[in-house]
Each structure stands twice: as C-alpha cells, then as structure tokens.
Amino acid sequence: MFRAFYRELCETAVHHVQKQQADTEIASRLPTLVEESFSLRLTHINGEEEDASMMHMRLMSMLKSKWAAIQSNRTCLGCLARAPENSLPCGHSVCDLCVRIFATEKPQQPWTFSLSQCLLCRRSIQATFRLKPPTAGVRILSVDGGGIRGIVSLQWLLELESRLDLSNSLSDYFDFALGTSSGKYSQPCLA
C-alpha cells in the first residue's frame, strides 16, 4: 500500500530537500525509513493494539511541544488533507472530519461535538462544534422588514417556535439568518 500510494510522494519531497541541502544522507534513506515505520504501524493496527485514530492522536501528541509554533488557517494540521473550518482557543484550526474523529459527540445532541484538549498542542480547552450533517443543505432564514410591520414576522416566528414545541431554539435550525430593515431584529430575538 505504501509503495502504491505514498512512496513516490515521499521521494518527490526528499528530492526537494536534497536540492536545498548538499549532504542529505538521511534524506536519501527517508523513503525507506518511512516505509518501515508505515509497515510497523500497520502491524499494530492489524493486531488491534490500537485503532488508526488512536495511533494518529498518539503520534500528534509526541510533537505537542512543537505545535505551539506551527499554525495554519489554510490546512488542517490534524490530517494535512483539508481546509480547517473550526478554530480552537489555542489558535489551532481543524477540519470537520478531524472533529468527527477526535472530538466527543454530545449525548442527545446529534452532530454536536465537544473537545477538552487541542489535538495538536494538547492545551486544555472547552470547545463545542455544531457540524452540519453531510446530507443536510444550508438552512437560511430570511426575514423582510417594513418598519413596524416587521413585528408580524417576529410574532409569526415566535408562534411557530411555540407551537412546534421544539427541544431547541428555532434559531438552532438555521445555519444563516439575515433580514432587511426591521427584519434584522428578528434574528437576535430568536436566539
């Protein structure tokens, strides 16, 4: 698997390093070292000593002292594969998929995850993420204005919330809310 998917990428990366540094004996051996490490870790996973996510978390933890100086708002450093949509109080950012894998889903609150430690620097944090399920579209609440008539929209929304007897606020069912003129005052009233 390593040879099919990663060996060539690894050699390309080493080639770039070798162009910048004259003596790179370790760099030339790097693809082989990575392949050996890859095989060893695959053996651990196949032996069910730990699953892939636990192993990934453990490896990230080994570098926790280095993560404080490495931050990116363009690449999720948890997987190096996606853009990070979620910012953490420590300054790191992670993608939705890393949240789903490494954070804990709250009971009775589907698609709401909590994280008590940064995946990278391991600082204690209190972060909650409300993710959108992959099958859900973007839910937009748009409210017209009209001066005093804006009260009609607001009353209608409050009545809707009351009659549906929802467990959460009606505002929890929208991803984005906007309003023109007095309609914009409906958004905070629903929060």
Binding site for Zn ion (CB under 5 A): 76, 78-79, 90, 92, 95, 98, 118, 120-121
Residue 187 CB, nearest approach to Zn ion (Å): 31
Q: State both tokens at 159.
A: 């009545």
Question: For residue 113, which amino acid is it?
Answer: F
| CB 30 to Zn ion: min, Å | 24
Measured from the CB of residue 10, what is the shortest distance to Zn ion in angstroms? 20
Nearest approach in angstroms of CB 98 to Zn ion is 3
Provide the 3-class DSSP secondary structure of residue 97: helix
Specify the residue, 91 or 145, whose C-beta has the smaller distance to Zn ion: 91
* 130 vs 139: CA distance, rounded Å: 14
Helix, strand and coil content of the chain, in percent to the nearest 5, comes to: 50, 15, 35
Which residue, 116 or 155, is less far from Zn ion as judged by CB?
116
Tell me the angle at which helices 25-46 and 7-20 cross, rounded to the nearest 10 degrees. Answer: 150
In this complex, which beta carbon is closest to Zn ion, that of residue 56 or of residue 92?
Answer: 92
Q: Residue 10 or residue 76: which is nearer to Zn ion going by CB? A: 76
Alpha helices in 103-149 (DSSP H): none
